[in-house]
Structure 1
C-alpha cells in the first residue's frame, strides 16, 4: 500500500463483484437500483426539476435493466455471444446516458424556454446571470452592497460561489433566450467532449490492452455518466460535471505520462470550481516525483490564478464576497447545502459545533498534506485514490455540503482500477 493502492483482499473482492457474469451482474444491479432511485425521486422530491428528471430517468433505467437482462440470457446460452460482450455493454451505457441525462436536459430546456419557471435548479440561474454580468460588466460577481439591495428572496441567487470560468457557460444565455442557450446544454456538451478525450487518452496509453483494462474503463465511464447522482446533477443543475470530467481527464493524462497536459486539464477545472484545487495539488505532488512539478504547477495552479485576475481588478470586494465569504458562511445569506453528513450534524447539534467540525476538517487536511510531503503518489492510480479518499473525507466533514458532491470521490475511486491497468510508467512526454 505504498502508493495508496487498495489492499490485495479488497482489490480481489472488487474484481470478483465487478467481473461477475462478465460484468453484467453489476450492470444489472446498477441499472435496477438507479431505476428505483429515479422512481422515488419522481414521487417524493420537493424540487420540481428533480421530479421532472425522475420520470424519464425511471423509464431509461428500466429499459437498461431489460437490455442487460437480455444480455445475461444471451450469455447464459452462449458465453461468447456478441450481445453479451463489452461493445454491447458500451452501447447500453451510451443509450442509458442519452435517456437519463441528455433527453431530460433537452426536455427541461425546451419547457423552460416555453415559459416553465420550474425547470431549472438555482445553479443554472446563477451561472446564466453570472454570464450576463461578465458580458456587461467584466466580472461575474455582485458586490456586498448590490446583493444587500436585492429583495430578500433573491439575495441567494445574487451570489456566484464559483470560480470566474463558470460564467462562460452562461454567455450563450446572455446573447439570446432559447432552449439551446440553457447553461445545462453547454455544460453537458463540454462534459461529453472531455470524457471522450479521457477515454481516448486511456485507450491510447502504451500499456498492453486487454479485456480487464477495457472493462475497468467502462466501469469508470459509468460512474461519471449513468450513475444516478451524476445523471441527476447534470440534468438539473450541471455545474459539477465538467469539473469532474476535467479532473478525470487530468488523471488520464497523468497515466499517459503527460504531466504538463494533466496540469492544464486540472487547471481549467480549477477555473470553474474550487473542488478541483485539491486534485491540482495532489497532481503537482505526483508530477514532482517525475521531475515535472513546475511544468504541471504552471497549468494546474497558474490557470486558476490567472482566471481570477480580471475579476480582481474589476471589483476585488465582489470577488472576496462571492468566492470566500459566502462559502465560509459569512455572506448575507447562508448556503442551502445542508445535507446531513457528520460535519453538518456536528456543526448544528454540538456546542461550538462549527468550530469542532472545522477543526476536524483541518486535521484531515493536515494529515493528507503530511502524507503528500512524506510519500507523494508515484502513479496516476495512487493520485486518483488520494484525491478520492481526501475529497470523501472533506465532503463528510464540511459543515455545509451536498449529497451530490459525493460524485467526485465515487468517480475518482472508480477510475483508479482503469488507470492502474493503463498506467504509462515511462518518462513524461508533455
Structure 2
C-alpha cells in the first residue's frame, strides 16, 4: 500500500459569483468620487476669477476648498466611511460655511431682497407687487405664493444674528426644498417585505446620494446665493412622487403650490397628470388636474384682482424681455441671442419656443410617461427647451431640470445593478460558484499496482 498526495480544489467563502463582473460598481470606486469632487473644485475655483458678483466669489473660494478636501479624502481613504466623510467635507465647504457667512453678513443676490420685500408687501397691501416700479430690483417676476417665503423676514426683522437666520428667505427656500425631498422619499419608500436581493444593498445609499447632490455645485451655489428655484424643484419632485404612487389629491395640491410660485412650473401639470393617468386611471388624472387648477387659481387670483396691471407687467412682460426695463437674465443662450437681433429675432425666438413646446407635448400624447423616471426626464426636457429658447434666460435656470433628472435616478433606479448578498436573505437561484485560487491538500489512499 502506497500513499499518494492529491490536491483537489475546494470551494470556500471566497468564491465569486461572476468572474467577468467588476469588483465594484462605477459609483462605488474611489477614482470616480475623487474625480467628481476634483472637477467640482475646479468649477468652483473659477468663480473668484471670472465672476463679478461678490456672493459668487465668496462661494467659489469656500466651495473649492471643501471640494478639494473631499477629493483628497475620497482617493486617500478606502471604504464607505471615506465616502461619507468626503460628502460631509463637501457639504461643509460648499453649503454650510458660505451660507452661514452670507446670511449673517447680509449678502445675497437681488432675488432674496425681492422675495423678502414681496412678503412685506403681501402683509401690508395684500399683493406682492409694487404699483410703479422704477428700477430693475423693484420688479417681482414671481407669482404670489413666492412671497410667502419672505413673510418670516417681515415678522422677525433684521436685528441680531438669530433674526437674520430665521428671517432670511434662503433659509426657508432650502427648508422647503429639503422637506419636499424627504417627503418624496417617504412617499416612494417600498415596504420592507418588497425589498429584493439586489435592492437597497446593491446601490448607493439614498441618503449619501442626495447629500452628494445637495453638495454639488448645481444645488450648492443657488442654495447659498439666491435659493429662489429650490422650492420649485423640491415641489416638482414631490408632485412626481405622489403621482407615481397614485395619490391624485396630494399631487394636485402640490402642483397648485408649485404653479403659484413661478409660471415656469406650469408644464409640470401635464407631465404629472399623464403619469397619474397611467398609474391610477383617467378619473384620478382628472381629479389631480382639477385640484391643481383650482388650487393655483385660489392662490393667484387675489393678487391678480388687486394689481392686474402690475402683475402682467412684472410676471409676464418683464421676464420675457418685453417690459419697460431690460431683464438682467441675459445669458448667451440661443433664445436670448435671437432676441438681441431686434423685434424679428424676438418673434423668431418665441416661434421656436412654441415649436419646441408643441414637440414635447406631442411626445407626451404619443407616449405618456409610465413611471417616475420617465416623467422626470420628460419634464426636464421640456424645461431645457423652454429655458434654452426663451428670449431671456440664465444658465442658472438649467439647474432645475438637471436636479430633476439626477434625483429621479436616485429615487427610482432602473438600471441593472450588481448582485450582492443580503444578510439573512436566501436567493431564489444561486449562481454557479467559481473556485477560488486557494486549494486544500487532501491525502488519498491508493491500493493496487500503482
Would the TM-score normalized by the shorter structure come out above 0.5?
A: yes
Q: What does residue range 363-402 of structure 1 map to in structure 2 within 5 Å?
A: 363-402=355-394
**Shift of the alpha carbon at 1:174?**
1.4
Asked whether the equivalents of residues 87 and 208 of structure 2 are also in contact (C-alpha less than 8 Å), the reply is no
Distance in 2 (CA, whole Å) between partners of 1:223 and 1:295 is: 36
Tell me: CA distance 1:82–1:213, structure 2 relative to 1, closer, same or farther (3 Å).
Answer: closer
Quote the residue 1:83 is aligned against: 81
Distance in 1 (CA, whole Å) between partners of 2:65 and 2:98 is: 11
Deviations 1:37-94 (A, max 9, x none): 11111233101111111121112212211221134xx2xxxxxx4436xxx54x6435
Runs of 5+ unmatched residues, structure 1 = 1-15, 75-80, 113-118, 424-430
**Shift of the alpha carbon at 1:218?**
5.6
**Shift of the alpha carbon at 1:222?**
5.3
Query: Which is richer in helix?
Result: 1
TM-score, structure 2 as length reference:
0.78
Quote the residue 2:229 is aligned against: 240
Q: Which structure's relative contact order is higher, taking Cα pairs within 8 Å and 6+ residues apart?
A: 2
Quote the residue 2:164 is aligned against: 179
Aligned counterpart in structure 2 of residue 201 of structure 1, from 160, 163, 187? 187
Quote the residue 2:140 is aligned against: 160
Distance in 2 (CA, whole Å) between partners of 1:245 and 1:214 is: 23
Quote the residue 2:96 is aligned against: 102
Deviations 1:311-340 (A, max 9, x none): 022222222222222123222211111111
Tell me: CA distance 1:140–1:255, structure 2 relative to 1, closer, same or farther (3 Å).
Answer: same
Structure number, greater radius of gyration = 2
Tell me: CA distance 1:21–1:407, structure 2 relative to 1, closer, same or farther (3 Å).
Answer: closer
Distance in 1 (CA, whole Å) between partners of 2:255 and 2:36 is: 29
* Deviating more after overlay: 395-404 vs 317-326: 317-326
Quote the residue 2:109 is aligned against: 121
Distance in 2 (CA, whole Å) between partners of 1:94 and 1:306 is: 42
* Deviating more after overlay: 58-67 vs 253-262: 253-262
Q: What does residue range 25-64 of structure 1 map to in structure 2 within 5 Å?
A: 25-64=31-70
Distance in 2 (CA, whole Å) between partners of 1:379 and 1:49 is: 39
Quote the residue 1:314 is aligned against: 306
SS at match of 2:263: coil
Tell me: CA distance 1:29–1:266, structure 2 relative to 1, closer, same or farther (3 Å).
Answer: farther
Quote the residue 2:118 is aligned against: 130
Pairwise CA RMSD of aligned residues?
2.6
Asked whether the equivalents of residues 335 and 390 of structure 2 are also in contact (C-alpha less than 8 Å), the reply is yes
Tell me: CA distance 1:270–1:364, structure 2 relative to 1, closer, same or farther (3 Å).
Answer: same
TM-score, structure 1 as length reference:
0.81
* Deviating more after overlay: 54-63 vs 194-203: 194-203
**Shift of the alpha carbon at 1:372?**
2.0
Tell me whether 1:263 sits opposite 2:252 in the alignment.
Answer: yes
Distance in 1 (CA, whole Å) between partners of 2:357 and 2:262 is: 19
Tell me: CA distance 1:329–1:272, structure 2 relative to 1, closer, same or farther (3 Å).
Answer: same
**Shift of the alpha carbon at 1:295?**
2.3
